[in-house]
Structure 1
Amino acid sequence: MNQHFEGTTALVTGGGTGIGRACALALAGAGCTVTVAGRTVTTLEETVGMITEAGGDARHVECDVSDERAVAHAVQVAVGDGGRLDFGVNSAGICGGDDLRGVADYSTETFDRMIATDLRGTFLSMKYELRPMLAQGFGSIVNIGSGASVVGVAGFAGYTAAKHGVIGLTRTAALDYGPHGIRVNAIVAGLVKTPLIAEGRSPHVMATRVAAHPIGRIAEPQEIADAVVWLCSAQSSFVTGTALPVDGGYTAR
């Protein structure tokens, strides 16, 4: 294990699968003690098991990020007896599936669900992560956005609105807390290869999505995690308030 994060602590929301799991594994592999939070205990336990088997230190906490009390509790668990939180990685989110509809026909229920999890959940996570960081005078938060954070996506009103909001929150928090030694950044992720990405989608839909990435493929979760680790590390010490594209050129068009 690489130990350049030895003695540090992190909370990773959405840490049971996909990008969140990859981030948790990468941070733990660098020596960080990681708390993974999410709604599904079995997948969280799997992530913790993978980390401990590799010699790392991890724990899990059940948390729906749209629930303020649950988020506050998750941060308390991550802070633990040591009283510090070095890194917050906010990866929990939902996409709403492929029921593509224009704004006039978009489900209000779906819109509210996107905002509650993807935007409110990020806000609440930041709100409680920032408090111990402010008390200790340092910290780094990385929010996981998407191409829909910076460009429009037809048929995805709720997801696009929520992910645009994540970038606004990121930049505002960077301004609020930069003078206090806390950096806040976001990743603009392209489509990422996770276990559920192709479920229920036709080969034609998947081919279209892959073709939207000029690099000719979609990302591996580890490629997003590598960027997250860099944004947490001292190597990015002069970087804050940015929305870093890790998207295979998706937003370069």
Structure 2
Amino acid sequence: MSPEFDGRTALITGGGTGIGRATALALAALGCLVTVTGRTEATLRETVDEIEAAGGRARLFVADVTDEESVRAAVGDTGRLDFGVNSAGDSGGDDLKPLADYPTEKFDRLVDIDLRGLFLSMKYELRQMREQGFGSIVNVGSGAGLVGVPGVAGYVAAKHGAVGLTRAAALDYAADGIRVNAVAPGLVETPLVATGRSPELMAARIAAHPIGRIAQASEIADAVVWLCSDRSSYVTGIALPVDGGYTTR
């Protein structure tokens, strides 16, 4: 285990699965004390158990990013907060609809989770970091926050909003010793992506990525760790594509 993050603490929303879990494992392997949050205690416990089995330190806090009091309590429970990684989110699934036919309830749900939930998480993370005078936040966005994607208006709108929040907060808090960035993944092998999708659909999605394959969650986590770390000390306000070339087409 590397000592790079010894004495550092991290809070990871959506830490029970996918990119959130991979990031928790990566930060813990570098010596960080990781708190994973989410709505499902069983998956959070799996993350904590995996970290502890590898010799790392982790804890869990059940919280829902759409509930402001829940978010406030989760952040307050961490005490010192070096890194905030906001990975909680929903893709909305594969029922593609052009905007005029897009269900209003789906739009509202995605904005509530992917945008408002991110706003609430950042709000309380930034309050804690402002008191400390230091910190690094990394938001897990999407390539759909950088380019248009047909049929998923709610997801695209929420993820574009996430990039906007990242940039606004980076400017608000640069003078306070706080950096705020985002990663914009392409297609990643997570339970959210793989569940219920046909081989034909997955093949088409993969073909849209010039690198020619799906990403592993650990590859996105590597980028998140870099943006958390002092190795990116002069970087703030960016949305870093980690997408196999998807957004360069």
Deviations 1:109-144 (A, max 9, x none): 000000000000110000000111101110000000
Instruction: Please give the root-mean-square deviation of Cα atoms over the aligned residues, in Å.
Output: 0.7
Deviation at 1:64, TM superposition (A): 0.9
2:215 is the counterpart of 1:219: yes
Alpha-carbon distance between aligned partners in 1 of 2:114 and 2:8, rounded to the nearest angstrom: 26
Alpha-carbon distance between aligned partners in 1 of 2:101 and 2:32, rounded to the nearest angstrom: 46
SS at match of 1:238: coil
Alpha-carbon distance between aligned partners in 2 of 1:197 and 1:64, rounded to the nearest angstrom: 21
Alpha-carbon distance between aligned partners in 2 of 1:5 and 1:187, rounded to the nearest angstrom: 20
Alpha-carbon distance between aligned partners in 2 of 1:25 and 1:73, rounded to the nearest angstrom: 23
Deviation at 1:152, TM superposition (A): 0.7
Alignment correspondent of 1:150: 146
Q: Percent identity?
A: 69
From 140, 163, 166, give the equivalent of 2:162. Answer: 166
Structure 1: unaligned runs, 5 residues or longer: none
Alpha-carbon distance between aligned partners in 2 of 1:146 and 1:153, rounded to the nearest angstrom: 11
CA contact (8 A) 1:75 1:128 kept: yes
SS at match of 1:244: strand
Deviation at 1:195, TM superposition (A): 2.9
Alpha-carbon distance between aligned partners in 2 of 1:208 and 1:11, rounded to the nearest angstrom: 35
Alpha-carbon distance between aligned partners in 2 of 1:122 and 1:70, rounded to the nearest angstrom: 13
From 127, 131, 135, give the equivalent of 1:131. Answer: 127
CA contact (8 A) 1:167 1:243 kept: yes
Q: Provide the TM-score with structure 2 as the length reference.
A: 0.99
Structure 2: unaligned runs, 5 residues or longer: none
**AA matched with 1:30:** L
Deviations 1:80-118 (A, max 9, x none): xxxx10000000000010010011110000000000000
Deviation at 1:196, TM superposition (A): 3.9
2:199 is the counterpart of 1:184: no
Deviations 1:174-194 (A, max 9, x none): 000000000000001011001
Alignment correspondent of 1:4: 4
Alignment correspondent of 1:63: 63
Alpha-carbon distance between aligned partners in 2 of 1:6 and 1:167, rounded to the nearest angstrom: 30
**Matched pairs, number:** 249
TM alignment of 1:1-253, pairs within 5 A: 1-79=1-79, 84-253=80-249
Alpha-carbon distance between aligned partners in 2 of 1:14 and 1:41, rounded to the nearest angstrom: 11
Alpha-carbon distance between aligned partners in 2 of 1:200 and 1:32, rounded to the nearest angstrom: 35
**AA matched with 1:8:** R
Deviations 1:30-88 (A, max 9, x none): 10000000011000000000011111111001111011000001101222xxxx10000
CA contact (8 A) 1:28 1:51 kept: yes
Alpha-carbon distance between aligned partners in 2 of 1:175 and 1:218, rounded to the nearest angstrom: 33
Deviations 1:145-166 (A, max 9, x none): 1110010110001100000000
SS at match of 1:135: helix
CA contact (8 A) 2:91 2:192 kept: no
Alpha-carbon distance between aligned partners in 2 of 1:160 and 1:235, rounded to the nearest angstrom: 30
**AA matched with 1:167:** V
